[in-house]
Structure 1
């Protein structure tokens, strides 16, 4: 009887969806890499959200004081009132870095959400139906994943009549759909044979309820792991499209990839114009990767004993 009660309690815990979350949180709390990654992501996200308040000037605002100091062989550096100095047109570099964080992260996050929602829904349906649907999805994702992601994003972005933030989100988001679809399909197929799902089905629980209350909590772990990793890739792809001139390149727009492209002719005069956006991209990608890899370790079955 004691064994039965323990087994029933464990099944109830899994059905409630608390087991994996609690154990992963306990593991992540003791992981310095996870703490560092989460801190970086949180700080960058906060800066991006507050960028309009923190930025002392507009992204396209020309400042006469800085323009007066521009020379063919000199771009003003840090000075009172302008912490990072000027860019090549006499705009405040700090303001453009802050507003560029907002633009780059907003588009990257939007692309990641497109991948998660579309890919997750497609994979969940295929995994729940099983049979040929699951097989066709797996073969389709294998085919798409054989194409380099950035190359596909470039091809999709070129289909837009005029590059915009929306076209960039769609181009980069579609690239990530097969990743989440394959991940969700595999997780759903694996969870369909678990004890608590079978028990709920035998009790006559409605299929939709079985999926939402008993199956879905068990498949959220892999998706939670993949989300920050996909965000890191999406941010890089968004910056790459802007660098190539097929992203959101509206006049006066502050975007890290676009800033990198515009700084190329001035690398000898003021390397900071390229170093600033490049370092920011590295920090964001590193933070997302540390968080994602730490979540993977925390949610790994062997890590939960």
Structure 2
């Protein structure tokens, strides 16, 4: 016998003009974050939205029912993985209308969930999201993450030169900002392979006439120590400021960062540039107005702006 037909979900036929009236500003922010970062877990969204997990899960279930987002749960052993969310068909259409373009032009694919679920890089990608999510944590010192760009956005600007896993900027209570590139290490690449990544960043530094700050987040303190030994005397350190941390011992928002090639103790990310002498301190690869530095194409900037790392104020029920 043929399988029973599913009843069409009436919510999925809601016109965009009516659907938009049902979405809060935080819903729109969630859609833009999924467009920017492709996959976010329920844990990521709970941490970012700073409300209870129950409230977040209830709202995500509503958005899924509306077809605005899709979800999947990858196989995980032992235990179970959290729900993973991607931008759905209706959500992509809504954002495309918002930016007067098409879902394809936004980089969205109809099989977004399937591609993400079977991606060999899913663990690496969600780990990178976790790293940045940790940096959004409110600290007593008043530091906050003001910029969080995805690997895809970085590729649009710097792919011919370097391929970071993300780009961010953290701002201190005095208004001083520390921009940085991130390399998220899962331990699957050899240390010589990690060391060769510095060469492309050195080329980026030469092309843009800047001195970027490159961060390595490693899965263990032992691997971090070995990487420091491997990078001793590396010629790319003449053009870069490099620092590391280990996830088994340190939280990235704390005194976790150890400069490479400098006799220094661990420090907070916002104070990291001060550990180098004045003539060797990192300089931003973007101008003050977030325009690309010298040496990059003027049309390299993506058409859709990156969302803020933190959601709008909690004025609606979520």
TM-score (norm 2): 0.22
Give the number of the structure whose residues are more often strand, by fraction.
2
Bigger helix fraction: 1
Asked which structure has the greater RCO (Cα within 8 Å, sep 6+), the reply is: 1
Larger radius of gyration: 1
